[in-house]
Structure 1
Amino acid sequence: MSLLQIENLSLSIHGAEILKQVSLSIDPGQIVAVTGESGSGKSMTALAVMQLLPNGAQAQGAIRLEGQDLLNRPEGEMCALRGAAVGMVFQEPMTALNPVKTIGDQVMETILIHNAMPRPQALARTQEVLTRVGLPPDRFPLSRYPHELSGGQRQRVVIAMAIALRPKLLIADEPTTALDVTTQAQILDLLKGLVREYSMGLLMITHDLAVVADMADQIVVMRRGEVVESGATTHLLRNMQHPYTRMLFEASGHQVSLPRAADPRPLLEVTEVTRDYRLPRKGLFGTPGHHRAVDGVSFALNKGERLGLVGESGCGKSTLTRAILGLEEVQSGDIRLDGQPVFAGHRPNLAVRRKMQVVFQDPYGSFNPRHRVARLITEPFHLLETPPAGSERQDRIAEMLTAVGLSPDDAGKYIHEFSGGQRQRIAIARALIIRPELILFDEAVSALDVSVRAQILDLLAELCATYDLTYLFISHDLRVVRTITDRVMVMQAGRIVEQGETEQVFANPQHPYTQTLIEAAPVLPDIGVNVA
């Protein structure tokens, strides 16, 4: 008998159809990956299993855990099952964890709330599961708070909470999307190890086939609330029948063709830049320590060149980005754009600042939801001495929206009326509207579906041909960096440990850290895929 059996599950919310006749099964010790774009119904299927559906939801069909139907279970019985028989790992660990409770208390709470064992045994089990997920108490005391851990370490705490009572079924909803490649590989290895060790079933939800290609036993492809294709992983990847599955596969390994850069001339020059942060005192009379986030970094970015910057979380990428933008003053070194210093004394040089723009990872979070698109994309006009007005302003808005593949009529809409990919197009339009000399893309496609990501990368290639873009592309996704940059720099512990032409660095990495990053990056296996 299957551990989890979903049969003909249909779901509507306030009359809107969300899921249509969804069926899948998971056996003990089996990993089943559900993949598809945002809005395909992946997460709603997982929430239906947990019976955590929003108000107004009506479900039909059957969801059976070891033969027991979950759809009609009273809430009290479902509370007893959640965390004990079924555990869930959410996408964003910082929002899944309570910021004012220690990691020990949060893991132990899962045990105590089910009255599984007395407190002394619960403490021992907490130490045991944290050790199992790679956070031994001798190195990571139970008294630590979530903000004292890295993103990967926080995700390990969430996994520890989910497995504290050794559930029969574990649901992981995009658990590695925001993680760098080495941490992602560690989390995937951890999940596979837990499945083997505890013989639990794992329902893995992801939008990226490459993440689960060598991990899942079965793959279920969803589109618009329906299962369009499913089967054993190797067989499905070799014999993809549905056009949507083929599209997802091709988008996962999408390549773009960048136009040749113009004759090189230095635009951005970073020379021996160092940035330290002060650490808190370890005692009342102790001397404050210092953390060196950027350590003697030097590089040059030429006009019309596309430069990538890769490295794990905490390597100094974001600190270096803020220094280039003039948002953080450095202790030593020099940053110049077109020969002019980014800092004028201890203040940002506004004459230089107006020549740079940035595109952030989360487009929705970087916009004011109360303003219309026309106002949002013209925000950089405040940097100009004489901003466009009247018909000139309207013409510039229409030109930029058209350039990024949107309609001039979209200027009157609000940001919530757009999809994630469309919002990122609007963010790019905002960055382009004052024709900056340099654009910094900070993880600009990391949170997007593979198909939307492919569209944004194609857009960047087109804009490079039209506007001769110069950009610094910061990302932990090596597949994206490989296709969208001319040169790449690898950063570790505040230093640039390797740099060179992108294809040369990827094909023949010299530094051990670069080799580790490339080996950790998920890739679609070359198994003679039939996509015809």
Structure 2
Amino acid sequence: MSLLQIKDLSLSIHGIEILRRVNLTIAPGEIVAVTGESGSGKSMTALAVMQLMPNGSTATGSILLDGEEVLDLPEDRMCQLRGASVGMVFQEPMTALNPVKTIGDQVMETILIHRAMPRDKAEERAREVLARVGLPPERYPLGRYPHELSGGQRQRVVIAMAIALRPRLLIADEPTTALDVTTQAQIFDLIKGLVREYGMGMLMITHDLAVVADMADHIAVMRHGEVVETAPTRQLLTGMTHPYTKMLFAASEHQVTLPESGSQVPLLAVANVVRDYPLPRTSLFARPGQHRAVDHVSFTLHQGERLGLVGESGCGKSTLTRAILGLQPVQAGHILLDGQPVYTGNKANLAVRRKMQVVFQDPYGSFNPRHRVDRLVTEPFHLLEHPPVGSERRDRIAEMLTAVGLSPDDSGKYIHEFSGGQRQRIAIARALIIRPQLILFDEAVSALDVSVRAQILDLLADLCATYDLTYLFISHDLSVVRTITDRVMVMQAGRIVEQGETEQVFSDPQHPYTEALIAAAPKLPHRRPMNAR
């Protein structure tokens, strides 16, 4: 008997059709993945199962959960099912968790709301499920707050909340998109173990086929609110028939060709850089401890070179990036850009700061939504002593928007009028507009669909040929780093443990940590493995 059966589900919001005749079936102990680009209807299908649809929604068809018709249930009955019969794991754990409540209280909340057991038993269950997801109370007390945990640990708390009452169905909506490859692999192993142990059915939502290749039993591909292809995982990945599925498959392994970079002129020189942070006192009269986030890091980036930086969350990548940008002073060592120090004393050198720009992971969060594109892309002009004005300013905006594949007419629009990929193009235009000598890409494509990511990578390759870009590309996505960089550095616990030409490092890793990263990276079947030529 099916645990979840969705039959001919159609959904419209204020008359706009969102889902069209969706059909899905999940059996107990089965993992079904729904994949597709943003806007394809994946998350809306999951929200329809939970009956958490926005106002103005109209649904037709059938959603049977363990034989009970969900679409006909009143809200009070749905409240009984949510958390108890159906659990949900959201994409971003920090927004799914309450920052002012302890992790123990948040795991117990579902138990207490459903009055499944008294508080002392609920606390015992919270300890049990937190231990089950890899957060034993002796190391991670129930009194900790979300901000005291890493991204992977927070996601484990969200999973613990979802399974506290051992629901029959677990829905996971992009649960590992923002996580590094080793943490991602740990979360996948955890979820698969929970499905086997509890006999749950699972609906896994993702935009990346490689992520579910070794996890899902069945895959459904959605486009424009429809399921265009569905089959058992191995059958679909090796014998896909729909052009859209083939496009997603190709985009997951998209490769670009960078222009040759033969320059040996040093641009960025980082020498023995150390960055420490103070730790809280362990007692009233104890000295505060020190956490070394960057530990004697040294490297050189040449003009026209594309350098990658990879490593797990917490390894020091972002701290090093902030130091290079002059946003945080360092305790030891020095950073030179074009022979000039990034810091003069403990202050950033503005003359050097003008020569660098950064592209962030979340393009929407890095823009002011109240400003139009022409103002957004010209924000770096405030760094210039004599910023362009009048027709020169308009021409520069038009040139940059055209360079990133947009129209000069887009300058009068607001950022919410663009897709995620277009926003990232605008972010790149903003970084290029003052012609910096160095650009830092901080997880610039990790949140994008595979097809949009492929377009952005093609754009970067074209810009390298046109503008001779020099950049430091920070990412946890090894497949992206492999195709978009000339050299790569691997960072662990604040140190660079391996560096060299990108293909050489990926093909023949010398450090055990590099080998572990490559082994943890998700791969599609019948393709060249990451550590083989």
TM-score by length of 1: 0.99
What is the alpha-carbon distance in structure 1 between the residues aligned to residue 402 and residue 212 of structure 2? Answer: 37
The SS at the match of 1:193 is helix
The SS at the match of 2:401 is helix
What is the alpha-carbon distance in structure 2 between the residues aligned to residue 110 and residue 282 of structure 1? Answer: 33
Cα deviations by residue, 1:81-135 (Å, 9 ceiling, x for unpaired): 0000000000000111111111111111111111111222211111111111000
Is the CA contact (8 Å cut-off) linking 1:238 and 1:527 kept in structure 2?
no
Query: Within 5 Å, which residues of 2 pair with 1:29-178?
Result: 29-178=29-178
Alignment match, 1:18: 18
What is the alpha-carbon distance in structure 1 between the residues aligned to residue 390 and residue 80 of structure 2? Answer: 63
What is the alpha-carbon distance in structure 1 between the residues aligned to residue 108 and residue 517 of structure 2? Answer: 34
What is the alpha-carbon distance in structure 2 between the residues aligned to residue 60 and residue 263 of structure 1? Answer: 62
Alignment match, 2:190: 190
Cα deviations by residue, 1:418-466 (Å, 9 ceiling, x for unpaired): 0000000000000000000000000000100000000000000000000
Is the CA contact (8 Å cut-off) linking 1:264 and 1:304 kept in structure 2?
no
Please identify runs of 4+ aligned residues in structure 1 that moved more than 2 A: none
Cα deviations by residue, 1:192-218 (Å, 9 ceiling, x for unpaired): 000110110010000000000111000
Alignment match, 1:474: 474
The SS at the match of 1:143 is coil
The SS at the match of 2:94 is helix
Alignment match, 1:233: 233
Alignment match, 2:531: none
The SS at the match of 1:178 is coil
- Is 1:503 the equivalent of 2:503? yes
The SS at the match of 2:410 is helix
Which stretch of the first structure deviates more once superposed, 276-285 or 85-94?
276-285
Alignment match, 2:464: 464
Shift of 1:317: 0.4
Shift of 1:265: 0.8
Is the CA contact (8 Å cut-off) linking 2:237 and 2:525 kept in structure 1?
no
Report percent identity of matched pairs.
Answer: 80
The SS at the match of 1:287 is coil
What is the alpha-carbon distance in structure 1 between the residues aligned to residue 362 and residue 264 of structure 2? Answer: 32
Which stretch of the first structure deviates more once superposed, 236-245 or 421-430?
236-245
What is the alpha-carbon distance in structure 2 between the residues aligned to residue 110 and residue 412 of structure 1? Answer: 47
Alignment match, 1:331: 331
What is the alpha-carbon distance in structure 1 between the residues aligned to residue 222 and residue 113 of structure 2? Answer: 35
Is the CA contact (8 Å cut-off) linking 2:263 and 2:305 kept in structure 1?
no
Cα deviations by residue, 1:131-172 (Å, 9 ceiling, x for unpaired): 110001011111111100000000000000100111000000
Query: Within 5 Å, which residues of 2 pair with 1:274-313?
Result: 274-313=274-313
Query: How many residues matched?
Result: 528
* AA aligned opposite 1:347: K
What is the alpha-carbon distance in structure 2 between the residues aligned to residue 375 and residue 144 of structure 1? Answer: 42
Alignment match, 1:403: 403
* AA aligned opposite 1:128: E
* AA aligned opposite 1:481: V
Alignment match, 1:6: 6
Shift of 1:527: 6.8
What is the alpha-carbon distance in structure 2 between the residues aligned to residue 94 and residue 411 of structure 1? Answer: 33
What is the alpha-carbon distance in structure 2 between the residues aligned to residue 357 and residue 137 of structure 1? Answer: 43
What is the alpha-carbon distance in structure 1 between the residues aligned to residue 384 and residue 472 of structure 2? Answer: 22
Is the CA contact (8 Å cut-off) linking 2:295 and 2:494 kept in structure 1?
yes
Alignment match, 1:253: 253
What is the alpha-carbon distance in structure 2 between the residues aligned to residue 263 and residue 175 of structure 1? Answer: 41
- Is 1:264 the equivalent of 2:264? yes
Distance 1:229 1:331, change over 3 A: same
TM-score by length of 2: 0.98
What is the alpha-carbon distance in structure 1 between the residues aligned to residue 407 and residue 368 of structure 2? Answer: 20
Is the CA contact (8 Å cut-off) linking 1:127 and 1:137 kept in structure 2?
yes
* AA aligned opposite 2:342: V
The SS at the match of 2:71 is coil
Query: Within 5 Å, which residues of 2 pair with 1:419-458?
Result: 419-458=419-458
